[in-house]
């Protein structure tokens, strides 16, 4: 084979490789846009989030039947009806064709304190100090302060009561009027916008609100 033929062959291979890269990039962009739409529908987002498909090549993943890892993020989003911030969704093993299903999904997000306040009875005031949740109220004209720990309960953040102070004196929930006791025991912030197969795994109180994590397996992304 002549030197010229070798050079031409190298050029052809380079052009074909460049074309394959371009096709791969176009396909990746299209699928990222589709996944953004499906995740927006599946998580009840008001707008489509940013989507990034991991890996240097994409088409081989599609030919294999699934996309290994997809990272979805949004600075602010409404999950169902609950405003959240710093939302990140990591999907693993996403099917490459409809119906879109992820083998596993990890979710993190921040429920701002103001958004959480909107979910509790209006007679209660939420505060967060040093990682503890403080709930203020009034009982028979006396100030009631509840110290609680936020915990994950299915698809909601609930307040586990640690201590009660009424008028500066330590009391028990059973010492309170029944209506007040029921209100205290019923403090919860539902996150119903998550797909049905997902549940909360952890909750951390921060100065800004509640940092939550959720996981799920076999999570359907295709909107019904």
Model pTM? 0.76
Query: E strands within 113-187?
Result: 125-129, 132-139, 142-153, 156-166, 169-171
User: Does an H or E element contain 91, and which?
Assistant: strand 82-95
DSSP, collapsed to helix, strand or coil, labels residue 221 as coil
Specify the pLDDT at position 176: 82
Specify the pLDDT at position 26: 57
pLDDT in tens, 42-73: 666 666 677 777 655 656 566 556 777 888 88
CA neighbor of 157 nearest in space, from 196, 223, 112, 124: 112
pLDDT in tens, 108-132: 999 999 999 999 988 899 999 988 8
- Residue 147 pairs in a beta bridge with 134, 163
Domain boundaries, the chain: 1-224
- Residue 70 pairs in a beta bridge with 53, 91
């Amino acid at each position: 084979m002549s030197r010229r033929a070798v050079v031409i062959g190298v050029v052809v291979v380079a052009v074909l490789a460049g074309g394959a890269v371009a096709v791969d990039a176009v396909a990746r962009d299209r699928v990222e846009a589709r996944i953004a739409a499906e995740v927006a529908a599946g998580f009840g987002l008001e707008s489509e989030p940013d989507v990034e498909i991991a890996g240097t090549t994409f088409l081989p993943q599609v030919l294999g039947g699934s996309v290994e890892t997809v990272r979805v993020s949004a600075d602010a989003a409404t999950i169902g009806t609950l405003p959240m911030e710093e939302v990140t969704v990591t999907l693993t093993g996403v099917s490459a064709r409809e119906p879109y299903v992820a083998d596993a999904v990890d979710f993190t997000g921040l429920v701002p304190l103001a958004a959480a306040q909107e979910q509790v009875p209006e007679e209660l005031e939420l505060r967060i100090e040093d990682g503890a949740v403080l709930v203020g109220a009034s009982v028979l004209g006396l100030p009631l302060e509840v110290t609680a720990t936020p915990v994950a309960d299915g698809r909601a953040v609930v307040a586990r009561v640690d201590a009660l102070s009424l008028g500066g004196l330590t009391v028990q929930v059973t010492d309170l009027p029944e209506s007040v006791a029921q209100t205290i025991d019923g403090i919860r912030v539902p996150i119903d916008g998550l797909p049905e197969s997902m549940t909360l795994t952890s909750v951390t109180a921060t100065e800004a609100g509640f940092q939550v994590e959720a996981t799920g397996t076999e999570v359907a992304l295709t909107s019904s």
